[in-house]
Structure 1
C-alpha cells in the first residue's frame, strides 16, 4: 500500500469512527472527542487495538478482506462506504454480496417502463428475472404468466419449448447463456446456491449437462451484441443488446434489447398497446 493510500485509509477510518454514538453501542464514560474510541472499534471488529491504531495512523500495512469486512461491520458502514474502504485498503472493490430479490424498487421499474419499444429485464446473479417491461413480455417471454420460481433464464431456455422455438440459433444462444451464467455465479461466489438448479437442469436436459461439462466461461461481449428471434407475430427480429450493472446493487444486471429497424420498433410498440 502506498503512503498516500495508507493516509487516506486512516483519514477515512477516523471520520467514520467519529460519527458513531458510543451510547448506542453500550459504551459510557466522558469523552474529549466525538465517536467511538479506537479500542472500542477494535473490540467490535475483534482485532488488536494496537493494529487498528496503526491503520488509522497510516502504518498498519495491508489488511485482509476478512479484517476489512469486520472493520466495516464495526463501523456500521453502508455498502458504498464498504466498497470505498476496500478500494483504499486493497485497491479493489469487495466481492459481490448476493441478496435474495423478489422485485425491484419503483424507480428502477419506472426506468424499464420508459423503454416502450425496447425489451428490458433485470436479472439476478443467478439469472432469475425479477423485473421486466411490457416490451419484454411481448417480445421475449411473458414472465408474469410464470410462477416466480420458473422465471429463471436457464430454466425456460432449456425447458420451455416455446422459448426455444423463438431462438434463431438455439445452440449458440444456449452455449453463451451457460458460459455467461457460470461466470456470473463464480464472480458472486454462489456455486453452492445454484447447485440444485444445475443438478435439476443436468437431469432434465442432456444438452445443458454437456454444456456445463464443457466449462466455458463467457461474457456478454462474447455474443456479438445481436439477438435474433423468430416471433410468432412479428416474424424475424434483430435486436441490439446492452448489459448494465445496477447502481448500488452489483448483484443485479439490466439487459436492454433495442430494435435495429425503426419499423420493427413501431410494430413492437403497436403490439404492446394491445395488451
Structure 2
C-alpha cells in the first residue's frame, strides 16, 4: 500500500505546533514566534535531515520515507511510543486485506469469554472499535449493548452520538479524548478498512466535539488504564482495564476489566452481576 502522505502531513504539523521549543532542548529565543511550536527548520535540524526534505515530507510530497528518517522525526518531535508507531503505520501501511463487514469472532474466543471468572467483565473489539462479542458481565457493564443493532455497537459512536449514555461516564471528557486518540491509532493500523473510515466519517459529520478532538491529531493505544463507570442501576465503580491483541484474529482485541478486591467497586460489580444473572451472552 502507498503511504498516506496527507495524513502524515497533518500529523507532523499538529505535533510540531504542540511541542514547546524548551521541551525539545532548544535555547530560548528573544524574538516573538509568530506561531506556536517548533519551526520547520528546527525540526529538520533535530531530526538530522535537510530543511528541504522535511518541507517535502510535511507537504506530502516525499515518497518512501526511510525508517531512520521516521525515527529521527519521532525523536525531534518527542513522539510517544504510540505516536511513533502511528507515524510508521502512515508511512508504511501494514499489509493485510481490510474488509468492510464486521469480523467474525471464533467460537474458541467466545468460549474463553464465557469461561472467565464471573467477576471479570470482558469483550472483544474489532477494527474501528466495534464491540464484537462479550461475556454476560461485559454486556451488563456496557449497559444495553445487546439491544443495539450490530453496526451501532461501536465505542466512539456510543461516546459521541448517544447523549443518554454520557451519564455512564463520570469523566466523559477524559473518555472522549482517549477514545478519539485510540480511533486515530486505528486509522494508521487499518488505513483502508471501510469500517474504520465509515466510523470516522460519521463522527466528523455528526459531532462537533469529535471534530474538535480529531483535529488535535493525538494518538494513544488503549492498552491498559483505569476509568470510572456509572451503572444506572448499581452505582459507580472504578475498573482497571487490560487489552490483549489476538494474533490469530487480525484486528481483534480482548479487553478485560477488574476491580480492587474488597473495594466499594467490587461491591458494585457484584450488584451488577446479581441484576442480570440470566442475561444471555452474545
TM-score between both structures, scaled by the size of structure 2: 0.59
Q: Which is bigger in relative contact order (C-alpha 8 A, separation at least 6)?
A: 2
Please state whether the residue corresponding to 1:184 is helix, strand or coil.
helix
d(CA) in 1 for partners of 2:201, 2:102:
22
Partner of 2:258: 258
How big is the shift at 1:210?
0.5
**1:9-45 deviations in whole A, cap 9, x for unaligned?**
xxxxxxxxxxxxxxxxxxxxxxxxxxxxxxxxxxxxx
* 1:269 counterpart (240, 259, 273): 273
Larger Cα-atom Rg: 1
Partner of 1:146: 148
CA gap 1:211/1:127 in 2 versus in 1, 3 angstroms:
same
Tell me if the contact between 1:123 and 1:254 (Cα under 8 Å) persists in the aligned partners: yes
d(CA) in 2 for partners of 1:96, 1:143:
32
Partner of 1:249: 249
Tell me if the contact between 1:103 and 1:131 (Cα under 8 Å) persists in the aligned partners: no
d(CA) in 1 for partners of 2:94, 2:143:
31
d(CA) in 2 for partners of 1:184, 1:161:
24
How big is the shift at 1:193?
5.0
Partner of 2:183: 181
Q: Which runs of 5+ in 2 are unaligned?
A: 1-92
Tell me if the contact between 2:159 and 2:176 (Cα under 8 Å) persists in the aligned partners: yes
For residues 95-244 of structure 1, what are the structure 2 equivalents within 5 Å? 95=94, 97=96, 98-99=98-99, 100-115=101-116, 116-190=118-192, 193-221=195-223, 225-244=225-244
For these two proteins, the number of residue pairs brought into alignment is 182
d(CA) in 1 for partners of 2:193, 2:245:
20
**1:159-195 deviations in whole A, cap 9, x for unaligned?**
1123211101101100001101111221222366533
Please state whether the residue corresponding to 2:250 is helix, strand or coil.
strand
Tell me if the contact between 1:119 and 1:139 (Cα under 8 Å) persists in the aligned partners: yes
Greater helix fraction, Structure 1 or Structure 2: 1
